Amino acid sequence: MNPKEVSVTSMRSGQSGVVTGIAGGHEVSRRLQAMGVKTGKPITKVSGMFFWGPVTVRVGHTQLSIGHGMASKIMVEVAE
């Protein structure tokens, strides 16, 4: 079980992990934080639309859908 850092977009549906950081600019990370996506938070991927569509995740009791570009900036540590 080696922990591995991936972006939310490359997680499998149903997979869980812990947010390790947001690789985007200040604006992106501020908006994501305001909706609950922050370093250290457990996160579960619910689904991803095909063709680079939005990714849906669960953080705490909130479900969020995040555009593909923004989602690719959320880094998550998952157990392999």
Partner 1 sequence: MKKVLLMGNPNVGKSAFFSRLTGVHVITSNYPGTTVEFTKGYMLFAGEKAEVIDVPGTYTLEPTCKAEEVACEMLKLATKEVVQEGDVIINVVDATNLERNLYLTLELMEQKIPIIVALNMWDDTKHKGIHIDVEKLAEWLGVPVVPTVAVTGEGFAKLIGEIYKARAPWVRKHTLEERWKDVGKVVTRVQRLEHRHHTLLERFQDLTIKPLTGLPIAAAIAYLAFKVIRFIGEGLIGYVFEPLFNNFYTPLIMKLSALLGSTGFWHDILVGKLINGQIDYLQSMGVLTTGFFIPIGAVLPYVLSFYFVLGLLEDSGYLPRLAVLMDNLMHRIGLHGFAIVPTLLSFGCNVPGILATRILESKRERFIASTLISVGVPCAALQAMIIGVLGYYGARPVAIVYGTLFLVWLTLGYVLNKLLPGFSPELLLEIPPYRFPPLTIIYKKLWWRMKAFLKEAVPIVLIGVFVVNILYVLGVFNFIADISAPIVTGLLGLPKEAVTAIVIGFLRKDVAVGMLVPLGLSVSQLIVACVVLSMFFPCVATFVVLIQELGWKDMLKATAIMIVAALLAGSLLNFIL
Which spans of this chain sit near partner 1 (rule: CB under 8 A)? 13, 30-36, 38, 46-54, 56, 60-70
21/54 with CB nearer partner 1: 54
Rounded to the nearest whole angstrom, what is the least distance from the CB of residue 69 to partner 1 in the complex?
5
**75 token code pair:** 């880094």
2/25 with CB nearer partner 1: 25
Rounded to the nearest whole angstrom, what is the least distance from the CB of residue 2 to partner 1 in the complex?
26
Tell me how far apart the alpha carbons of residues 66 and 43 are, in angstroms, rounded to a whole number: 13
Q: How many CB atoms lie within 10 A of CB 50?
A: 5
4/46 with CB nearer partner 1: 46
Rounded to the nearest whole angstrom, what is the least distance from the CB of residue 32 to partner 1 in the complex?
7
Tell me how far apart the alpha carbons of residues 30 and 10 are, in angstroms, rounded to a whole number: 22
